[in-house]
Each structure stands twice: as structure tokens, then as C-alpha cells.
Structure 1
Amino acid sequence: MRIIVSGGGTGGHIYPAITLIQAIRERVPEARFLYVGTSRGLEADIVPKEGIPFDTIELQGFERRLTLANFTRGFKAIAGLKKARRIVKEFRPDVAIGTGGYVCGPILLAASLMKVPALIQEQNVLPGITNRILSKFVTKIAVGAEAALKHFPREKAVFTGNPIRRAVMEASREDGLKEFGFDGDKLIVLVSGGSRGARAINRAMVPVLKEAKERDDVQFLHVTGKGEYEDIMNRLREAGVELSKAPHIRVEPYLYDMPKAMAMADLAVFRAGATGIAELTARGVPAILVPYPYASENHQEHNARALQEKGAARMILNKDLTAETLGDTLRELLSKPDELKNMAAASRQMGRPNAADDIADIVMKIAKR
């Protein structure tokens, strides 16, 4: 079996693709894969390290207004589609899979036009325009959120959830406590704005941690992102927070073992990216979600709202985020164990820990034999 996989730009598109590849390999060990991305995206670094053959298409996403740059990008898109057709023709795949990012558009379109079965893995509650257009051509759409079904042809769309790393479900609370040196008898709050960090969340947390240093009944693991770390450490020092004297507070630039952190968390403060939400709900971790306001078509707010409506999360819009709003919400939830328990149950009910296996089964069914 030969499979083309495309998805890029951010880890939220790349890691689900790699997880899918692993799930398919478990079913068909001899399967051959070709991953198509761009030379500028994170995939150019991550995918080859996984031992997966990698090819590139050079193109950029369009701006949402008429600009000279869009004309240049239009020519690149045409060239990208031509190269995508050549890649599909030469590799002769039995199926093509796209997990998001503008790079997967030409590949899925070329594959569909060349009668190769194709699958979109749509991660968000509100799909982008590219996937809505592609849905008219592809064979199947695996959606990560039930609310996304209404945006696609009924006969093609299937609610599967989003693929998550196996390590997310394999990690135990004990693993996390041992890794980070926390007390399992006290509540643990995990704060992260993603690998690059979220300045708004980081800065709102400084006064929260200043208050938290005076009480050790709640423990905090705050992941700032590498680019934000020095600034936040300086702000904490200026606020009089000496981390050496507050072992119940840990501030890290980056975590290489986020699954263990999630496994021990009683509450999370996160952005509302689809992959982060998929991992939180698979573990049943209640959350305070702060959607990134500049995400395409504001899809993070739609993601967060879906969890809030089910009782699995609280949402604070970025424009409303302050130390006061975040601190008040944290204090309220941490003082109500029954509400946290109900939120955890709602989160777990929304989780789809077997999404990668379910999508792999769909791929097997639609692949040309």
C-alpha cells in the first residue's frame, strides 16, 4: 500500500499526521508513505527525523483582502498544483490524507482529480474555506468535533475525534508526579499557551503566581514557551516571586513530556487549538480556555465554545483576559471540587482517545486495492 500524507505549518497539523501514519503501519507494516509539506514549515524538520520520506511544494496561504502579494501567491498556487499532480503521478498512491495547513490543498485536489481516494482530517469545529471546497472532491472527511459535521456533505463526513499521541493515554498520574516532583494530595494546575507560548496568558499569570506563592495547597506548572521565558522570569522576580522558595510553583520554557504533565493535572489553562483540546478531553482534564484571537476564521473561539457548552471548560476571550478574570476563575473552580469533577466527566465524555485507530480503519476501507 502506498499513501501520501500532507499537513503542515504547525505541530497541530503535523503530529496528528504522524500519529495516523503510526496507526496505519500497525495494520499494514509494509505500507510506503510520502509526506508532502513545505520547506518553511515545521514539518521540514520534524518529518524526516521520524524516518518518513519527505517532499515539498512551495506555496503560501492567501491574505483575506485584495493585495499584490495575493497575485504572486496565485501563481505559486498554480505551480503548486502542477507539482502536486506530478508527485501523485510518480508516487502512484492508493490513498491520500490531508491533516490541515494550506499545503494539503493541492495534494488532495490533485489526488481527487486523478481518481485517487482522499481523506480530509478536519480538526476544528469551524472548518476553513479550503477544506470546505475540498470536501466536494474528496472521498471522506473525518471530523474532530461533532459540531463540524453540519459543514460537510452528510454522506462523506464521519465524527472520529482528532488523533492524539499514544503517549497521552499511556502516561499515568504517578508518572507525572514523579517527573515534576509534585504532591499527589494537592491540586495541580497546568498552564500552557502552546510550544511558542501565549503572551497574554503568561502575563496574566504573573499576579496569579504572586498570590499562589503565599499558599501551597495548589501547585502550578507554568509552561511559558521558549520565546517568553526570560520575560516572564524577569516579571516574576520584579513581583517578588522567588521560585527557589516556592517548590509548589514550577515555571518552564518548554516541556518535552507534556503527556505526563496532562496526566497529573486537575485543571488546565490552555489556548483552544484542536490538538491541545483533543489531548485534554482524551484525559478528561477540565480547562480554562483562552482562544487565540487571530486564528483563521476565529476557529479557536468556536472550539472553546463547544467545550464550554458541554460543561467541560470555561472560556475567557483574549480581550477579557486579565490577572483578575483569570485569578477569579481559577479561585472559583479550585474551591469547588464537585464542579471540577463534573467538568472532568464532561471533558472525558467528549474525548476520543481511539480517533487515530478509527481514522486508520476508514483509510483502509477507501484505499484503492
Structure 2
Amino acid sequence: MTTADKPIKLMLTGGGTGGHLFPAIAAAQELCGRIPGSKVMFIGTRRKLDKTSLLEYGYEVKSILCFGLKGKNLLHLIKAVVALPLGFIQAVIHILAFRPDIVVGVGGYVTGPVVAAARICGKKTLIHEQNSVPGLANRKLGGLVDRICISLPQSAGYFPSEKTVITGNPVRKKLLELAAAPERKCDPAKKTLLVLGGSLGAHRLNELVSEALCHHGVSQPFQVIHQTGAADCQIIRQKYTENLIDARVEPFFADMSEIYAAADLLVSRAGATTLAELAVLGKPAILVPYPHAADNHQQRNAEYYVEGGGCRSFAEKDLSGRMLAQQINELLLDDDQRKIMAAHMKELAVPQAASNIVDVCLALISD
């Protein structure tokens, strides 16, 4: 059998947020769809989000002892450094047991010891960077791995040019199918605002949106779908109920295809994976980048899509509920402007990103 038809063993590592996990899932789906019989093992953190998201797709999931380093206090740093050798050994054990053809890191602190262990074990290695500004783990691994796949052109300068490839950011299969399907609405008589604070929620964004909608209002029939995170779910739901706002409020939405399908406009953080999904689906958005993201990468992510004409972006510190209400009103009322923004988002999309990454993996394996 050739590399093109021989089942592949793919080891993925990374995680901690949906932004890291979902591109990994998309790449795994592409590989398994293209080469039946291929096997996938994911090595991640012990966070519940990692395990539940991956087990749903039927992938084998392992974890290692590992803690983040960046922005931590001295005690946490000592704990993280002490845990590194054990995490590295655990990674080696998983690699020797699974015997992957290639190990792909998708970012997050767990990526470091696993990809380093893969290199020591003589395995082909690749990292994928979703953001415009790479995280600490990927920056350190750039000189070590065989190939580097990036999503946005801005991050190219952080890595050796001779092994860096722009592939785009993979989007899950269900969302690609949605992008190709006719638009559907749950209530065509109402415009739908979708609010996404990220898989872990965003307290200040929740406050701004609820203030905008409850105290300043929208001047036409509308409904809101709001992902709040666990901490704010009840209080935001209560605010909407008290103000007679047609709202669906949940801590986290598992089926994003249904949610995206309903949306006319989004208010969202500026995580790379969310933006890649919005681009593929052609969804206009008001972005409020998370101000404490490492190296301010969400702001840089947002700039790329704003410059492309698909989004508007506002710094959280400069935004009030009144200002946000004005922006929401303006865009919900202006169908033509939303259509223009949607078209620009589509122009920035890379729907074949997962296929591009699998192509790079297969080329490495066949070397």
C-alpha cells in the first residue's frame, strides 16, 4: 500500500479551549474521511471540555500531567516546572504504545512536552498555529518540528520561513456542510443576534450585551441566542426574562451548526477558530476582543477580519452598553450592509484548511 491508501496513525495534542480542540477535530475528520481505517489519539489536558468534546467524536483520549507557564505566579511556576519531567515521560509512554506516523500539535501548554517527546522518539512532527500571534508553546517548538502550518499571514514572521505553510484554520465538517446548505431561519419574522463569549464564557461581554439589549433596546423585532459560560447563565437569563426579551441562554452550545444557522449578526470575542467559522459561513460580526488574551492576540485576529471588511471591532475598555446597542441596531436594520460584510467574510474563508493540513502531514510521512 502507498501512503495515499495506507491507514495512518495520527496523534494530536493541545487543548484547554474549544479554539484549540475544534481545528484538531476537523483535521482528524478529514484524515479519517480520506483514508478509512486511520486511527486518532488525542493527548490533552485533564479539563472536562477536552475529554467530552473529543469522546463525542469517538477518538481515543489520553492526558498527561502538565501546567501552563505564562503569566503564572511563582508557586504555580514551580509546580509546572516540577511536573514537566513526569509529563514528558507520560508522553513518551503514550507515543511508544500508540506508535503514531505523525504527531500534530495545535497549541496550548500540553503541546510542548508531547511534541518534544515525539521528536526524541523519532516521529514526524507538525504544529498548527490558529492565531495571528503564536502562543508560547508553538513559538518554542517552531525550531524543533518538521513543519509549521499557520492560519493567518501575520504569524509567518514568528517561524522559520523554509518550513512554514499557510493552510488556514480547519473548520468542523458539520459547519462546512452548513456553509454549503441553503440558509434557514427559526423565525423569519425576527432578526437573530448570536452572542458568543468563547467556550469558557466572558463576563464583561455578557454584561455589555445584556445592558445594550435590556436598557437601550433594539428598534425592531429580534431574538437573541446567548452563550454565557456557566457562571453568568442564570443571571443573564433572568435579565432577559424580566425585560421580556425573546432569548435562548445557555452556558455552552454543543451543536453550533444549528446556532450559526439562525444568526443574522454576531457579537463575539475574537478567537481564531470562531472567526474562521464565521468566515466560512459568511456571518457578519461585532467583535470585542478579550483584552487579557496572551500577547493581545485576539486584537490582532480581529484586525485581519476588520481590514477585510467582514467585521467591526471595539476595544472592551472603550465600549459601553449604549454604544453596543447603537452598533447592533444599525446593523440589524441595514440588510444591505450585513450582506456586504457577509460577502467579505466569505472572501477571507479557507474552507479547505483541514485538507491542506492533511496534505502536509501525508507529504511528511512519505518523505
Normalized against structure 1, the TM-score is what?
0.89
Mapped partners of 2:278, 2:149: distance in 1:
19
1:296 aligned residue: 294
Q: Does the C-alpha gap of structure 1 residues 46 and 207 become closer, same or farther in structure 2, counting only changes over 3 Å?
A: closer
In 1, Cα distance between the equivalents of 2:101 and 2:190?
52
User: Are residues 23 and 360 of structure 1, via their aligned partners in 2, closer, same or farther at CA, if it must alter by over 3 Å?
Assistant: same
SS in 1 for 2:260: helix
Determine the C-alpha separation between the residues in 1 that align with 2:290 and 2:231.
Answer: 17
Note if 1:251 corresponds to 2:258. Answer: no
Please give the residue correspondences for 1:177-196 in structure 2 after superposition, counting only pairs within 5 Å: 177=185, 181-183=186-188, 187-196=191-200
Structure 1 CA distance for aligned equivalents of residues 63 and 218 of structure 2: 52
Partners of 1:218 and 1:46 lie apart in 2 by 31
Aligned length: 358
CA offsets, 1:198-240, max 9 Å, x none? 2222222224323686743444333333432211133335xx5
Q: Structure 2 CA distance, aligned partners of 1:257 and 1:46?
A: 11
C-alpha deviation, 1:269, in angstroms: 0.7
Q: Which one is further off, 129-138 or 1-10?
A: 1-10
Secondary structure at the aligned position of 2:248 is classed as strand
In structure 2, distance between residues paired with 1:197 and 1:313: 20
Distance in 2 of aligned mates of 1:45 and 1:152: 32
Report the Cα distance in structure 1 between the residues aligned to 2:141 and 2:53, rounded to whole angstroms: 26
* Contact kept? 1:10, 1:41, Cα under 8 Å: no
| Offset at residue 136 of structure 1 (A) | 0.4
Among candidates 90, 100, 115, match of residue 97 of structure 2: 90
Alignment partner of 1:353 out of 348, 351, 354: 351
| Residue in structure 2 matched with residue 209 of structure 1 by the alignment | 213
Structure 2 unaligned residues grouped into runs of 5+: 1-7
Higher mean alpha-carbon deviation, 45-54 vs 213-222, is at 213-222
Work out whether residues 176 and 260 of structure 1, in 8 Å CA contact, stay in contact via their aligned partners in 2. no
1:331–1:97 distance in 2 versus 1, CA, 3 Å: same
Q: Is the 8 A contact 1:195 1:226 kept in 2?
A: no
Using the TM superposition, give the Cα deviation of residue 326 of structure 1 relative to its aligned residue in structure 2, in angstroms.
0.8
1:37-93 deviation per Cα after TM superposition (whole angstroms, max 9, x unaligned): 122352233323432222221010114366133122112112212222333233322
Q: Secondary structure at the match of 2:210?
A: helix
Matched, 1:241 2:238: no
- Pairing of 1:66-215 with structure 2 (within 5 A): 67-171=74-178, 176-177=184-185, 181-183=186-188, 187-210=191-214, 215=219
CA contact (8 A) 2:127 2:147 kept: yes
Question: Taking structure 1 as reference, are residues 187 and 145 closer, same or farther at Cα in structure 2, changes over 3 Å only?
Answer: same
Give the C-alpha shift of residue 138 in structure 1: 0.8
Q: Is the 8 A contact 1:189 1:220 kept in 2?
A: yes
Partner in structure 2 of residue 11 of structure 1: 18
Q: Which amino acid aligns with 2:176?
A: M
CA shift in 2, pair 1:296/1:174, >3 Å = same
Secondary structure in 2 matching 1:191: strand
CA distance in 1, matches of 2:166, 2:302: 18
Deviation at 1:176, TM superposition (A): 4.2
Higher mean alpha-carbon deviation, 320-329 vs 185-194, is at 185-194
Moved more, 307-316 or 194-203: 194-203
Q: What SS class does the counterpart of residue 155 from structure 1 fall into?
A: helix
Structural RMSD (CA) = 2.3
Query: CA 1:77–1:24 in structure 2 vs 1: closer, same or farther (change >3 Å)?
Result: same
Q: What's the secondary structure of 2:123's corresponding residue?
A: coil
- Structure 1's unaligned 5+ residue stretches are 244-248
The code of the aligned residue for 1:182 comes to: D
1:344 corresponds to which residue?
A: 342
What letter corresponds to residue 362 of structure 2 in structure 1?
A: M
Deviates more, 1:327-336 or 1:93-102: 327-336
Range with bigger deviation, 17-26 or 210-219: 210-219
Query: 2: distance between equivalents of 1:214 and 1:13?
Result: 34
Amino acid corresponding to residue 187 of structure 2 in structure 1: F
Query: In percent, how many aligned pairs have the same letter?
Result: 35
- Counterpart code for 1:25: C
What residue in structure 2 maps to residue 246 of structure 1?
Answer: none
